[in-house]
Amino acid sequence: MFLHEFKYELIRVLRQKEELFWVLLFPMLLGTMFHLALGNLNRATESFHTIPVAVCLESDQKNEAFQTVLDTLSQDEDTPLLKPTYADWEEAASLLKEDSVRGIFRVGEDVTLHCAPNENDAAATLALEQSILETIVRQYHTNADILTRIAQTSPEKLPELISLTQSDASYGTALSLTPGNMDFVIQYYFNLIAMACLFTSFAGSYVAMHHQANLSALGARKCVSPNSKFLSVGAQLLSCLLSQFFCVAVNVAYLVYVIKADFGTSLPMILLTAFIGCILGVCFGFFIGSIGRVSEAAKSGIMVSVSLLFCFLSGLMIDNMRMLIEDFCPLINDINPAVLISDSFLTLNIYGVSARYGSNLFTLLLIAILFAVSGCLLIRRKTYASL
């Protein structure tokens, strides 16, 4: 009996196109859109391009020190920092005007930088490049000043100092607090998986509705069959859970292997979190499906709305929404399933398996049990006052 119910529920869920759309296809589409929109943004801010710069040498005053700096910065084999173009002042000014170079180094005894004002749409990138050029000049001036003063006060230490400035020594060690992925875009993908987990509620709702004689003809037919309602519900919920988890796992695989999202932690732990998210989703749907004599369409509407509201509050649409809620009403974050699921992923990514991760999973399971027990209490009725 259990296996019979399990088998046919599995067949039903895998053929239910509407449910598959919400759990399988919709998150994939949304993930692809995130990738197209936010993936490029990431590349624009992180990838570095060589900065074209004009160098205008004043003929009578040679500055070998700055020339050495320029040579060093333009000699990297992969992506040199600078691409100098040597020109006279008029020609350099013309290149700057055409936007062929980002600035002009006027090199004489002193070194000065000339940049064009930021007026176009690419102002952010231009400003970044101009800042780099300014930093180079500032650093040159600082080092030159130090060398001059040392030469005047302690000339015997000059060779050592020159050696130090050329060695680019670092006295600190950069230590990452986490082996995880600190990219902010990853949060969107975590929220996306949380949403997919919540959309498993459709399947849970279907199980509840088709076990109540006052909600559907199929429910009535099931109620007159010689079987325990809870055995049937249990078999179907388990079947739903496994099939829905399979869909969410496909989504995770799509994000990891196709979108190339770096979840920064082991895949089995991600899947475990998703599985518990699915338990919550199915139980949530089961509870919604159990309440009142509301039509199937209305219940679907309630589930989509509530799921999306949870996701909205967790920051799926606005990234700092969760922080805002944390400031004004942290209790919402403590019980919002979408927050708990995405926070579990985030915690897993940054801290690995930790107390906070365990606490999140425990809360998720607790809420799921609450939904499941409430649903069972609502459908336990065996005779109805009206059909």
Partner 1 sequence: MQTPVIKIENLVKRYKDLIAIDHFNIEIREGEIFGLLGPNGSGKTTTINCILSLLSFDKGTIEVFGKTMRPDSYDLKRQIGIVMQNVAVFNTLTVYENIDYFCGLYVKEKQLRKKYVEEALAFVELEPFRKFYPKKLSGGLLRRLNIACGIAHKPKLIILDEPTVAVDPQSRNKILEGIVDLNKKGATIIYTSHYMEEVEQICTRIAIMDGGKNIAAGSADELKQMIKKSEKIKIEVPMLSETHLEDIRLLPHILHVSYADGQLNIQCSGGRHNLVHILEYLQRQGLSFDRVYSELPTLNDVFLEMTGKELRDHA
- Does residue 1 interact with partner 1 by CB under 8 A? yes
- Please give the order of strands across the beta sheet that includes 111-114: 82-86, 51-57, 104-107, 111-114
Distance in Å, CB of 302 to partner 1, minimum: 22
- Does residue 283 interact with partner 1 by CB under 8 A? no
- Does residue 226 interact with partner 1 by CB under 8 A? yes
| 3-class secondary-structure state, position 67 | helix
Q: Please give the backbone phi and psi of residue 82, each rounded to the nearest 5 degrees, phi first.
A: -125, 150
- Does residue 149 interact with partner 1 by CB under 8 A? no
What span, in angstroms and rounded, lies between the C-alpha atoms of 257 and 241? 24
Length of the chain: 387
Q: Do residues 313 and 276 touch, judged by C-beta distance below 8 A?
A: no
Quick one: 122 exposed, middle or buried, by C-beta within 10 A (0-12, 13-18, 19+)? exposed
Closer CB to partner 1, 267 or 387, in the complex: 387
- Does residue 59 interact with partner 1 by CB under 8 A? no
Distance in Å, CB of 338 to partner 1, minimum: 29
Residue in 38, 93, 161, 220 binding partner 1, rule: CB under 8 A = 220
Distance in Å, CB of 373 to partner 1, minimum: 21
Size of the site for partner 1 (CB under 8 A): 25
Closer CB to partner 1, 260 or 382, in the complex: 382
352 CB-near residues (< 8 Å, 6+ apart): 179, 180, 265
Write out the binding residues for partner 1, residues 6-35 only, by CB under 8 A.
Answer: 8, 11-12, 15-16
- Does residue 230 interact with partner 1 by CB under 8 A? no
Distances in whole angstroms, Cα of residue 378 to Cα of each of 2, 4, 287, 293, 372 = 22, 24, 8, 11, 10
Q: Do residues 204 and 285 touch, judged by C-beta distance below 8 A?
A: yes
Closer CB to partner 1, 16 or 94, in the complex: 16
- Does residue 385 interact with partner 1 by CB under 8 A? yes
Structural Rg of the chain based on CA atoms: 32
Residue in 136, 193, 197, 213 binding partner 1, rule: CB under 8 A = 213
Distance in Å, CB of 279 to partner 1, minimum: 23
What span, in angstroms and rounded, lies between the C-alpha atoms of 22 and 20? 6
Distance in Å, CB of 178 to partner 1, minimum: 45
What span, in angstroms and rounded, lies between the C-alpha atoms of 340 and 359? 9
Closer CB to partner 1, 47 or 383, in the complex: 383
Distance in Å, CB of 290 to partner 1, minimum: 17
Cα–Cα nearest to 101, from 124, 119, 126: 126
- Does residue 376 interact with partner 1 by CB under 8 A? no
| Amino acid letter, residue 366 | L
Distance in Å, CB of 232 to partner 1, minimum: 8
Distance in Å, CB of 4 to partner 1, minimum: 4
Residue in 125, 143, 165, 216 binding partner 1, rule: CB under 8 A = 216
Residue in 174, 177, 224, 331 binding partner 1, rule: CB under 8 A = 224
Distances in whole angstroms, Cα of residue 264 to Cα of each of 40, 187, 268, 307 = 20, 12, 12, 26
Q: Which residues bind partner 1 (CB under 8 A)?
A: 1, 4, 8, 11-12, 15-16, 213, 216-218, 220-227, 382-387
